[in-house]
Chain A
Amino acid sequence: EDQVTQSPEALRLQEGESSSLNCSYTVSGLRGLFWYRQDPGKGPEFLFTLYSAGEEKEKERLKATLTKKESFLHITAPKPEDSATYLCAVQGSSNTGKLIFGQGTTLQVKP
């Protein structure tokens, strides 16, 4: 069964304090791993798609990496506006387009 586990559940950082969020997954035939950001009361906002182990993508203070078992979302020198819930999801080989989501990591960055 496809499964996604994110850790930690919650993370508090001081502004400028870099850290990483983890997404561990088991999936039969990974077609893609997706990172989303969700603010309270809003829909998820697309950040990255990773397709194969070794791939990396960057956007401003965020960098996503992928191995065969997990993905990391590195946050460099975060700002208070980076506070949000970060969701990881995988798409397997079922070819239905279905995403399996993790429980999310809620990040709070204090000024």
Chain B
Amino acid sequence: GAVVSQHPSRVICKSGTSVKIECRSLDFQATTMFWYRQFPKKSLMLMATSNEGSKATYEQGVEKDKFLINHASLTLSTLTVTSAHPEDSSFYICSGSRAVSYNEQFFGPGTRLTVL
């Protein structure tokens, strides 16, 4: 149990375009979903936390207008990178949690974004 999927697994886009990444919890209801960014050989950096039906909470330094997060249902969250630039190239990982407290986060397989 506790499987999270992400789509697409890899995406290459031109600078200035927008890219949408989907995160789905397949066998549980994710009350809270988290979006992370990971640079090569570095640990995970939390970008934002989203609860179903409410606005996402962004970490300090993360541009909310650039990284749009929607948590439309208990099984789906999306991250849209708007007007992507080469510096947005990274590995984006989502996770889902059944509850805010005392609960594990289950991670998706990640999405590799390359902006040319």
A residues with a Cβ closer than 8 A to B are 31-32, 34, 36, 41-46, 49, 51, 87, 91, 95-99, 101-104
Contacts and interface: CB of A to CB of B under 8 A. Distances in A.
Interface secondary structure of A, over-half rule: loop
Query: Ordered nearest first, which 7 A-B pairs have the shortest CB separation?
Result: A43-B107, A97-B100, A101-B43, A44-B107, A43-B110, A43-B109, A103-B43
Given A44-B93, A101-B44, A96 B49 contact: yes
Contacts of A91: 101
Interface residues of B, number: 28
A36 B32 CA distance: 19
Given A43-B109, A43-B110, A97 B103 contact: yes
B25 interface: no
B112 A41 contact: yes
